[in-house]
Amino acid sequence: MTTAARVATEDVADAEAARRQTVWRGGAVLVIAALFVWALPKALRELDYFHIQTVQLEGARFLTPTSVIAALGADTAASVFDDSDLFVAKVESIPLVASARVRRRLPGTLVVTIVERTPVALIPTVNGFRGVDSAGTRLPIDPALSAFDAPVVLPPAGARDSVADRRLFNLLGMLRAKDPALFDAIEEARRVSPTEWQLRTSRQIVRITPQVTLARLADIFPVEQDLARRHIRAAELDLRFRNLVIARLP
CATH code of the domain occupying 121-248: 3.40.50
Single pTM value for the model: 0.72
Per-residue pLDDT for the chain (250 aa), expressed as one digit of tens each? 555 445 445 554 555 555 555 545 544 445 444 433 444 555 555 566 678 888 899 998 888 888 888 898 877 778 878 888 999 999 999 989 999 999 988 888 899 999 999 999 999 988 888 899 999 999 988 777 677 789 999 988 777 788 889 999 999 999 999 999 999 999 999 999 999 999 999 889 999 999 999 999 999 999 999 999 999 999 999 999 988 999 998 8
Instruction: Please determine, looking at this structure, whether the domain spanning 48-116 carries the CATH number 3.30.390.50.
Output: no
Looking at residue 122, its amino acid is L
Q: Where are the domains of the chain?
A: 1-36, 48-116, 121-248
